């Protein structure tokens, strides 16, 4: 399931050749729990709803466009949950997304995984 969602998310960006299997770490955005993956370009992040049975299936891609992070996404769950998560992700800003990316990569290093 997660692999299919990640493939869909990558197809929505301008760089569908990315591998975004680094992670995940867990974060809470809005009223849901999310799995956060880093991509092999070392700048893009994928955020996937952890519990589709609670808020629905959502996926967001945080990637650079014009030197700044943008959030693209889609879902089929509760609109309020998706909107709350989207707003929280946008509120991270460029520095927050970079910190999130660093947290995913640091989590890999802590588990002895290759980055």
pLDDT in tens, 2-23: 544 444 454 554 545 789 999 9
Task: Please report, for the chain, how many H helices and E strands are present, in that order.
Answer: 3, 5
pLDDT recorded at residue 113: 53
Tens digits of residue pLDDT in 55-70: 889 999 999 999 999 9
The rounded distance, in Å, linking the Cα atoms of 112 and 92 is 28
Q: Map residue 107 onto helix, strand or coil.
A: helix
pLDDT recorded at residue 54: 78
Q: Among candidates 30, 39, 86, which has minimal Cα distance to 63?
A: 39
Mean pLDDT of 28-39: 94
Contact yes or no for 9/59 (Cβ under 8 A): yes
CB under 8 Å to 59, separation ≥6 — which residues? 5, 6, 8, 9, 46, 47, 48, 49, 73, 74, 75
Q: For the chain, what is the mean pLDDT?
A: 85
Handedness of CA 92, 87, 38, 14 (dihedral sign): negative
């Amino acid at each position: 399931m997660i692999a299919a969602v990640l493939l869909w998310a990558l197809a929505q960006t301008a760089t569908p050749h990315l591998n975004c299997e680094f992670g995940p770490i867990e974060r809470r955005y809005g009223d849901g729990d999310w799995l956060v993956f880093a991509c092999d370009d070392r700048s893009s992040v994928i955020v996937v709803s952890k519990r589709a049975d609670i808020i629905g299936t959502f996926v967001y891609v945080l990637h650079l466009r014009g030197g700044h992070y943008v959030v693209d996404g889609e879902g089929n769950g509760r609109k309020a949950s998706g909107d709350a998560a989207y707003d929280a992700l946008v509120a991270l800003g460029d520095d927050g997304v970079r910190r999130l990316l660093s947290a995913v990569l640091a989590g890999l290093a802590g588990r002895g995984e290759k980055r």
